[in-house]
Amino acid sequence: MALKPPELTYMEGESRCDYNWTTGEVVGTFLAALRDHGKMLAGVCESCGQVAVPPTSYCESCGSEVSDLREVGPRGVVMSWARVADDFEGAPAEAPFRYVLVRPAGADTELLHVAPDDDGIRIGATVRPEFRPREQRGGAITDIRWFVPDGAESEGS
């Protein structure tokens, strides 16, 4: 029998899944330091010396082991930013806000975070993290609410 265009062109469905992502020792320590001490820790590579934040137990630059952690920041330099004007589902902050890449003092890498929509957020600007109140922190990168301008520009970038 010949086909004619069907009425049922779509089937609805939904997929939802719960996860418990294992952090590993290094990442677990980093997250606990955010929650318990309001500090950012970086991993120091025993071979090439790269200071990476957030840290991994393996050096992403040279592949060696990383077990040494060191505090970095709290201040950092803005390496880039992007302004989001409109709210969207799952957004990390209320619009308007800015995504930022921040290189904490003492680190060789940048971390992704958010910032207020402030003209003080520009490449080369010094920023500092604003942590959430202790009771609201759960051991996540979002224990830092965002990075805010710290006043004086850093010299050079």
Partner 1 sequence: MTRPVAVIGTGQTKYVSRRDDKNVPEIVREAGLRALADAGLKPSDVDAVVIGSAPEIFEGVNYPEDWIAPALGMCPGPVMRVHTGGTVGAATGIAGFYHVASGAYDTVLAVAYQKLSDGVPQYGLSACYDPLWDRDFACGAPALVGLQSRQYLDRHAPAVTEEHGAMVAVKNRRNALLNPYAQIRREITVADVMSSPPVAEPLKLLDCCPTSDGAAAMVIASEQTARKKCPRPAWFSGVGTCSESPYVPHVDMAYPESCVRAAQQAYQMAWIYEPARELDVAEVYEAFSFQELIWCEALGLCRPGEGGKLIESGRSDLDGALPVNTSGGVLSSNPIGASAMIRQVEAAMQVMGRAGEHQVDGVHRALAHSWGGAIQFSTVTIFSDEI
Asked if 33 is part of the footprint of partner 1 (rule: CB under 8 A), the reply reads no
Q: Provide the 8-state DSSP code for 83.
A: E
Q: Is 29 in the site for partner 1 (CB under 8 A)?
A: no
130 binds partner 1 (CB under 8 A): no
Helix H or strand E encompassing 130: strand 126-131
**32 sits near partner 1 (criterion: CB under 8 A):** no
Nearer to partner 1, 2 or 15 (CB): 15
Q: Which 85-124 positions form the footprint of partner 1 (CB under 8 A)?
A: 85-86, 88-92, 99, 101, 109-114, 123
User: What does the H/E/C string look like for 88-129?
Assistant: CCCCCCCCCEEEEEEEECCCCCCEEEEEECCCCCCCCCEEEE
Query: Is the CB of 13 or the CB of 133 nearer to partner 1?
Result: 13
Applying CB under 8 A, the span of 49-57, 64-72, 127-135, 148-156 interacting with partner 1 comes to: 49-57
Q: How far is the CB of 111 from partner 1 (least distance, A)?
A: 5
Token pair belonging to 68: 């040494």
Distances (CA, A) of 93 to 82, 84, 87, 88: 13, 10, 8, 10
- Burial of residue 72, with CB atoms counted within 10 A of its CB: 0-12 exposed, 13-18 middle, 19 or more buried: buried
Cβ atoms within 10 Å, residue 148? 15
Separation CA 105–CA 107 (nearest Å): 6
Stretch that binds partner 1, among 41-49, 64-72, 77-85, 125-133 (CB under 8 A): 77-85
2 binds partner 1 (CB under 8 A): no
Positions that interact with partner 1 (CB under 8 A)? 5, 9, 13, 15, 19, 21, 23, 27, 31, 52, 54, 56, 60-61, 79-86, 88-92, 99, 101, 109-114, 123, 140-142
